[in-house]
Amino acid sequence: MKVLISGASVAGPVLAYWLNRYGVETTVVERTPALRHGLGGHAVDLFGHASDVVQKMGLWDEVTAARTMIDELTIERAGGRPVHVDLGRLYAGISDQHVEILRGELTRILSAATTPTEYLFGDSITALTDDGAGVDVTFERNAPRRFDLVIGADGMHSNVRRLAFGPEESVRRHLGGYLAVYSMPDVFALGSSMLIHQSVGRLVGLYSVRQTGQARAMFMVRTEAELEYDYRDKDQQKALLATEFRDYGWRVPQLLEQLEAAGDFYFDAIAQITLDTWQRGRIGLVGDAGYCPAPAVGGGTSLAVATAYILAGELATHGPAGLRTYEAEVRQMVDRSRKIGPKVMGSIIPRGPATLRLLPWAASVVPKLPTPIQRFIWSQNAVGKALGSTALPDYSALLSPRSPANPGR
């Protein structure tokens, strides 16, 4: 079987890795000219099943060595005392297996393990024709090719989804907010700490990146209506952000001073993908492309890792029909993950004065509880429940003895 995967970030490399291990031929097409690895971008989390998958890949030590190592969080709000949280203690209470890592670092580690996958960088699919026996694919740059299956692992604004399932607008649910992130000099000498400042309808965060000595500024704002802007025009988006936070106070003026120079500026809606089927003939979707639970508030990275592992196992077990069994296997995880974002939005970007007190209160109380109680609270929490709602299948019997891919991993 020859599988084409669109997207080389999280879901794409995990899928390629496991297909390689099952003896399936994989090609990955990635729009960017090289891997989007590195130390820019944002921090993401691995929890539960996703950590198990990374362990099965033999990459856990590498991933934990590359973790952010942010160990202290201070939450501030106007009129309230700052709350200091020992994150090491908080995460240890949640799970032995949580790790926070820059998304680019995770991509670097995952992709390096995908030999002998073929990568087509700086390219994108332009058309997909599924004739029932295979898929004819045309690209912007490479010559047309035929594959047995095509999988979209190309994120929230998936190209494969648009080509095979229809326009994004009909399957996007706005959760009522926007998110911006950019790198800047660590003007506040944050060390290994993260600062958050909340007000009604807005949040500003700041954390350091130990590997670069830089800091990352993060802004969230609640807006019930969708904003009108050009998603390609970064200057326009920067201007929108500056206008929204001009009068915020706190450390924001120093953050906005760095905005113009920010080369890795990210701005997007906090939105979900609500598509309810992730396979159409020989074309499938995985990770954010199929069911983005919303950036930064939905646990999307762990969902992408766990579901890519399941997709590979189902395809290796059933061939193309594995797209249908995969869909059935991950449905509960996806459905539950979709409930996380709207809930987290409520506490992270406070709706009113009462919710403004919620996060500092929870962050200060939970780490002081005995570990078994913290773990119980976590198990009742939406993220823990979503990921744990389906047992992680064991596909080890499928591992190809002749698999050329990292046999020891």
Ligand X SMILES: Cc1cc2nc3c(=O)[nH]c(=O)nc-3n(C[C@H](O)[C@H](O)[C@H](O)COP(=O)(O)OP(=O)(O)OC[C@H]3O[C@@H](n4cnc5c(N)ncnc54)[C@H](O)[C@@H]3O)c2cc1C
Task: For residue 26, state whether it binds ligand X (rule: CB under 6 A).
Answer: no
Cβ 103 to ligand X shortest distance, Å: 5
Strands 266-273 and 135-139: unpaired
Beta bridge partners of 198: 77, 203
With beta carbons less than 8 A apart as the criterion, state whether 206 and 251 touch: yes
Task: For residue 29, state whether it binds ligand X (rule: CB under 6 A).
Answer: yes
Considering only residues 3, 6, 66, 312, which one is a binding residue for ligand X as defined by CB under 6 A?
6
C-alpha 15: how far from chain center? 15
Residues 76-135 that bind ligand X (CB under 6 A): 103, 124
Percentages helix, strand, coil for the chain (3-state, rounded to 5) are 40, 25, 35
Task: Point out which span in 9-17, 249-257, 345-353, 390-398 binds ligand X (CB under 6 A).
Answer: 9-17
Q: Report the alpha-carbon distance of residue 139 to residue 47 in Å, rounded.
A: 35
Cβ 370 to ligand X shortest distance, Å: 26
Task: For residue 9, state whether it binds ligand X (rule: CB under 6 A).
Answer: yes
Task: For residue 12, state whether it binds ligand X (rule: CB under 6 A).
Answer: yes
Cβ 281 to ligand X shortest distance, Å: 20
Task: Point out which span in 1-9, 87-95, 242-250, 348-356 binds ligand X (CB under 6 A).
Answer: 1-9
Task: For residue 299, state whether it binds ligand X (rule: CB under 6 A).
Answer: yes
**What does R_g of the chain's alpha carbons equal in angstroms?**
21
Task: Point out which span in 42-50, 196-204, 325-333, 343-351 binds ligand X (CB under 6 A).
Answer: 42-50
Residues 193-222 that bind ligand X (CB under 6 A): none
With beta carbons less than 8 A apart as the criterion, state whether 203 and 349 touch: yes
Task: For residue 181, state whether it binds ligand X (rule: CB under 6 A).
Answer: yes
Task: For residue 361, state whether it binds ligand X (rule: CB under 6 A).
Answer: no
Closest CA to 329 of 305, 343, 340, 313: 313
C-alpha 218: how far from chain center? 16
Task: Point out which span in 27-35, 64-72, 309-317, 386-394 binds ligand X (CB under 6 A).
Answer: 27-35
With beta carbons less than 8 A apart as the criterion, state whether 100 and 43 touch: yes
Considering only residues 15, 153, 255, 259, which one is a binding residue for ligand X as defined by CB under 6 A?
153
Task: For residue 302, state whether it binds ligand X (rule: CB under 6 A).
Answer: yes
Q: What letters, b where the CB count within 10 A reaches 16 and e where it falls short, cover 111-135? A: bebbeebebbeebbbeebebeeebb
Task: For residue 49, state whether it binds ligand X (rule: CB under 6 A).
Answer: no
Helices 340-348 and 358-365: crossing angle, nearest 10°? 100
C-alpha 328: how far from chain center? 22
Task: For residue 36, state whether it binds ligand X (rule: CB under 6 A).
Answer: yes
Considering only residues 10, 190, 203, 240, which one is a binding residue for ligand X as defined by CB under 6 A?
10
Q: Report the alpha-carbon distance of residue 33 to residue 140 in Å, rounded.
A: 13
Give the residue with the Cβ less far from ligand X, 227 or 321. 227
DSSP-derived 3-state class of residue 372: helix
Cβ 156 to ligand X shortest distance, Å: 6
Residues that bind ligand X (CB under 6 A): 6-12, 29-32, 36, 42-45, 103, 124, 153-156, 159, 179, 181, 266, 287-289, 295-296, 299-302, 304
